Every structure is written in C-alpha cells, then in structure tokens.
Structure 1
C-alpha cells in the first residue's frame, strides 16, 4: 500500500524547514524559484484562458442540453491543470501536498446524479478559482523577476523567496485536498440512494418469493387438508383421502424447502456460524460447474462486509452456472492490508460486462456503496475474471465471544 503523504499543514511546516535561507549568492534553490516565477506568466495565462472559455461556454449554453455536461467536463479538465500546478510546485518550490482522490462517477447511478456530482466537485472549483486569480499575480511576478535579473540582482534572492512564498501559500490553500470531506459527503449521499434502492429491490424480491412460492403452497395445503377433513367427517376414509393427505405432506416438504432457500438468500446460517470458507464452499457445491474455493483470511471481517462478500460470490457463481458454459471455475478470497479481495474465474465463453443484464451492474453498485471496487475482465471467448475489493473492518466480538476468547 502506498504510504500517504503528510497532511497539508504538517507538509507546510516541513517545507519551510527544508528551504535554505535566501542569500546574496544565487544557489540551486534560488534558481528553481526564479524559474518558477518566470514560468508563472505562460502557465497562468494558459489556465486563465482555459477557465474563462470553459465558464463562458458552459454557462452560456446552459439553456441547451449540452451546457451543463460541457461545464462538468471543463471541471474535470481543471482538475488536470491543478495536478500540473502541484507537480510544478513540487519540482521547483519543494511544496508537497496530497493529491486529491479521483472523482468517482459511478455508472448505473443515472446520468443526472453523476452530472450533479461532477458539478459539485470542490477540487475542480478551487482549481478554477486558482487559475482566475493567478493571471495578475503571474504578470507581476514575471515582470519583477525579469527586471531584477538585470537591475536588482543583489536583492533578487530575497524577492524570489518572498514571491514564491505567496505561490506556496496559494498551492497549499487552493490545490491541496483540504476540502475532500465535502466531496466524500456528496459521494456518500449518492451511495445512500444506491443502498436504499438496493434494499427496496431486495424487499420486493423477498415479498415476491413468499407470495409466489411458500405462501401459494401453504394456501394449497390448507385447502387440501380442509377437503380431507370434510371427507373424514363424512366417514369417507378411503384411498382418495389418503392420497390427499399424502399430497398435502408433499406440499409441506416443498414449502419448508422454499422457506429454507429464502432464509439462505437473506442470510445463511452457515455464514454466521462458520464464516466465509464454509459458506462459499456450500455455494460452490450447488454450482453446476466444478469450483475450487480458496479462502486465506487471518480472521473474520465485519458481518456486513462478510455478507456482501458472500452474496457477491453467490451471484457470480449463479452467472457461471447460467451463462458461462464453463467447464471449471475458481473462487479466491484473501486479505491485502486493509482490503478484502475476491476473485472469481471461469473458463467459459466470456463476453460478460457491467451492462450485460446479468446482475453485474447491481453488484458494482453494492460494492461502490461501501467504498469497494468491482472489475470485470471477460473478453469474447473467455476466460472471465471478476475481481471485487471491499474495505476490511474487523469483526466486533459479542460479549459471549469475548468471554470465550478470554478463556
């Protein structure tokens, strides 16, 4: 796992400590600062023209259907300008700030929610502000530095240090990810909608299964037993009544099996009692394709993460059975740092995609809602490899388990 850079505040102090004091003699640090100041004019001019054009076209066309999409695309481009400016400040000024995390525009969440998330991106808008105010400052720093190279040579190191300190403050204040919390809140609001929709769909599925399955069988059972009771009261204890009772007995067994299957679909008991290894082995045994299961975990993750992992593998193996025409498959589950990784492979015909109508999109949305990832690699002709990644959270022990572990 890549080590995170220091926070912007601590980085600011570290940068100040690392910079040597300005002296009359022009050292390497001073020449880097001079190069940065001379490059301010062309860079700020380019950024200003881009931002003004982007804002003018985007807002000017908001009366049409392309205005807001163009504005959101412009903000994505502004993010790249900010990345370039951070790299320039890092190379020439020694300013090191964290890179903002990538804006995650999830497919399947609808065009307008994705568009709104891009338009609210605080990183993009702060970069726009940075490029707007940089042009006059770029002109000033270019002119002062150029004149000082020929006229004010003795004090140039001090002028360069003072002006680049302003540049450092701008980079830290406007291009650092200090407002990432705002974007994460926007993402979590979008994720909440996905979770609500998924939960509603699951409830509708359970209701449909109960209505069309076990409930219908229990109604037929009640009717059959009622007819048998009437015949017994009438003294007709013949083979016909025995057949009706036998049929009712069969209906009871089928209804019980359907209720077990439904309960397993909500949350299997084997997962609660024995964990992912046993639960996934049970799922693999019901697959029509031979499946090799490998689970290498140091412990059990949180129940919610464990459940998502189980149902992800379960649905992927159902796809293998129904659509892949595979001869073999495998499931691997392991932990890497603070992530739970899942990989499901089969040697079938391939061609699976997030938009293929096999439930892949729903899986991707569910994992995305808990800050997970879902990647499908399935060329035509196969094989298919699906990789899922979930955040690892340790399982909380109940008081009974805590006592047991203490003993």
Structure 2
C-alpha cells in the first residue's frame, strides 16, 4: 500500500453504526408507535379531565375523575413497559394506590386518588406527548428515505427525548414514594404495638392485681364477720390480707414500671438501665456515655429495648455475664447488648421477640442488627435517631458511668 493510500485510510471517519442494528430497530418501532399511542392517551386524558371537572359539582363528578385518574395510572404503566421493552429504560413502578378499605373508607380513598401525583404526571405526559409523537412518527417514517446516512444518529436523538419524557414524568419520585410506603407500614406497626401493649396491661391487671384485690376484699369481709365470734381466726385472716396487700402493691409497681418507670423520668437512662441490670439473672456491666438526655420518646424506646433484651438473656441465653453499652454518635443513639451465652438467636420468624423489637425500631427509622453465631454468644446493636430533649423536660446531663452488678 502506498503512502498516499495509507493517508487516505487514516482520514476516513469511524464506521457508522449499522442502520438496522437491534437497538436502532427497537428505537424506530418505539418512534413509529408514538403517534397512535399519543392519540389514544391524549383523547382519553382530555375527555377524562373535561368530563370529571365538568361534573364535579354533581355527586358522580369527583368519583368519575378519580376513576379517570386511575386509568391514567394504567396508561402510565403501559408506557413504562413499552419504554422498558423498546428503549431499555429501567423505570421502577410507583407505589400502588391503596383501595377504599385499606385507605380508611371511600372518602379517604377518593381524596387520595384525586391527590395522586403519579396519576396527574401520567395525564400530563399524555397531553404533552401528542405534538412530539407526531414529529417523531414523521421522522421515523420518512427518515430511511431522506436521512439514510445519519439515520442511526437521528433515531438515537429522538429516542433520547422519549427516554427523558418517561424518566421525567412517568418515573416515581423514588425517595418520596419509598418514604410513603415506609410510613404506611410503620403506622400499622405502631398501631399493632400499641394495641398489643394495651391488651397486655389489661391482662396483667385482670389476672394479677385485680384478682388479688377481689380476693382481699372477700377475705376482709369474712374477717369482719368473724371479728366478734372468733377474734383469733379474724386476726389470722387480717394477717393474710395484709400479705395480699403487699403482693398487690408489688404487682402494681411492676406494672407501672412496665408502662414507664419513674426512675427513667427522674434520673435518665443511666440509672434506669442500672435498675434493669440489677434484676437480670446474670451479672451485667452497664456503661452509658451520653452528653445529654435524648427526647422522652427516644429515651423510652431505648429503655424498653434494653429491658427486653436483658429479659431474653435471663430466659434463653444460658449466659454467665452480659454487657450494656449506650452512646451517641453524631445524630444517632446507639445501644449494644451482648452476652456470652449459647448464641443461635434469630431475629426472624412469627412470634419472635427480636422480630418485634426490629419492627418497633423500624417504625422510628431505627436499625436493629443481631449477631449470634452458635456457641459464641449474642450481640445486638440498635440505632435510634437522636432527638434533643424539649426544654420542659429534665435537662440534667447524663455523665459517663460504668456500674457492675455481681
């Protein structure tokens, strides 16, 4: 090859992508289908909005508009699938709109449907796409005749506009959609937890203190009747009733501690967790290092989390010792409860206490991690969002302190 030929070869442009490559053919199919789909979507959306808003002063107007918006959601779903198949746009599906029963009734569902941002964005997509669909269809149809040398590049540019429209108007706002779904789930967890706590308190009162107080009243009534006939028997019955009073008072104190211990309100996590540790079946080292007290709600969740974990240590771990550590890191409150027991604890499964704790912490944007290899003890680490205590609450800081129960 001569030098002149070599120079000519070096000046040649890079090869053009084949006109009929798989990607180009898919993009052309999408552009050709834009016009019929945009006509269908535009007519449906315009009819839906005009009829729904026009009849909004009547009983059927708003429900009809809500149903029309549901249809817009379905059109958006179809368009996301078409873009996913022909353009390779990986757009996730938005969170489904809850039905009337889950939303809390027909009116709540109607209001949620009328405010549905996904449906309104889909309707906007159908309205603005008609002129663009006409242009894209025309170029894709006549392009192979007049634009053959640059057809792959023109098709790619037009398809990129379609991709931008899909991502901009049909893509869910990931953070917002995910947050809505999390809040709906967390609300259910909070409601279920509160109901379970109320049932537990009712059961404890009915089976414990209430039953004991009923027996006490009956015993005192019998003692009153025997007071003149048999003073010694009456005195014995009064002594027995005195013991029942002490037991009832202890049960009420335990119940009140289970609802919210006074030591937590008065002295904070350090003293409250030390009190819990003193009732554990094994020696527990408690170390609390907090510059100040967190908000009352966060403090209460931390207390009950550690309390339930230490109960698990007493009942199931088979441990010789345990440790509780509490500290602050940035805007998070961290807890760690560890033991040297048999391990093998699972945070999953129906009825699992650890699973219940995980759900409770998740409801306040917390994190719950269980490390429990067989035969090597268990370490549970929990994170809670740090929220400053309100000025009305006790403001005394909690100094770092380490105590040990032996």
TM-score between the two structures when normalised by the length of structure 1? 0.59
Cα distance in 1 between the residues matched to 2:220 and 2:182: 55
Shift of 1:275: 1.0
> Does residue 325 of structure 2 align to residue 332 of structure 1?
yes
Which residue number corresponds to residue 110 of structure 2? none
Shift of 1:184: 2.0
For these two proteins, the number of residue pairs brought into alignment is 300
Shift of 1:329: 0.9
Shift of 1:151: 5.7
> 1:345–1:140: structure 2 CA closer, same or farther, 3 Å change rule?
farther
Contact 2:266–2:394 under 8 Å retained in 1: no
Which residue number corresponds to residue 199 of structure 2? 204
> 1:396–1:201: structure 2 CA closer, same or farther, 3 Å change rule?
same
> 1:208–1:141: structure 2 CA closer, same or farther, 3 Å change rule?
farther
Which residue number corresponds to residue 279 of structure 2? 286
1:219-257 per-residue CA deviation (whole Å, 9 max, x = no partner) reads 1211121122112233x322x222211111111111100
Which residue number corresponds to residue 295 of structure 1? 288
Which residue number corresponds to residue 317 of structure 1? 310
Shift of 1:298: 2.2
> 1:289–1:141: structure 2 CA closer, same or farther, 3 Å change rule?
farther
> 1:352–1:237: structure 2 CA closer, same or farther, 3 Å change rule?
same
Which residue number corresponds to residue 386 of structure 1? 380
Shift of 1:276: 1.0
- Which of 325, 328, 343 is the aligned partner of 1:350? 343
> 1:142–1:262: structure 2 CA closer, same or farther, 3 Å change rule?
farther
Contact 1:41–1:139 under 8 Å retained in 2: no
Q: Which residues of structure 1 form unaligned runs of 5+?
A: 1-37, 46-77, 87-99, 104-112, 114-121
Which of these two proteins has the greater Rg computed from alpha carbons? 2
After TM superposition, the runs of 4+ consecutive aligned structure 1 residues lying more than 6 A away are 38-45, 136-144, 147-150, 159-163
> 1:148–1:171: structure 2 CA closer, same or farther, 3 Å change rule?
farther
- Which of 220, 224, 227 is the aligned partner of 2:222? 227
Contact 2:28–2:140 under 8 Å retained in 1: no
> 1:365–1:237: structure 2 CA closer, same or farther, 3 Å change rule?
same
1:324-368 per-residue CA deviation (whole Å, 9 max, x = no partner) reads 000111111122222222111111001111227551121111112
How do 1:22-61 residues align onto structure 2 when only pairs under 5 Å count? none
Residue aligned with 2:251, SS: helix
Residue aligned with 2:311, SS: helix
Cα distance in 1 between the residues matched to 2:267 and 2:323: 20
Which residue number corresponds to residue 218 of structure 1? 213
Which residue number corresponds to residue 368 of structure 1? 362
Residue aligned with 2:209, SS: helix
> Does residue 252 of structure 2 align to residue 271 of structure 1?
no
Shift of 1:199: 1.1
Contact 1:377–1:384 under 8 Å retained in 2: yes
> 1:271–1:242: structure 2 CA closer, same or farther, 3 Å change rule?
same
RMSD value, Cα: 4.8
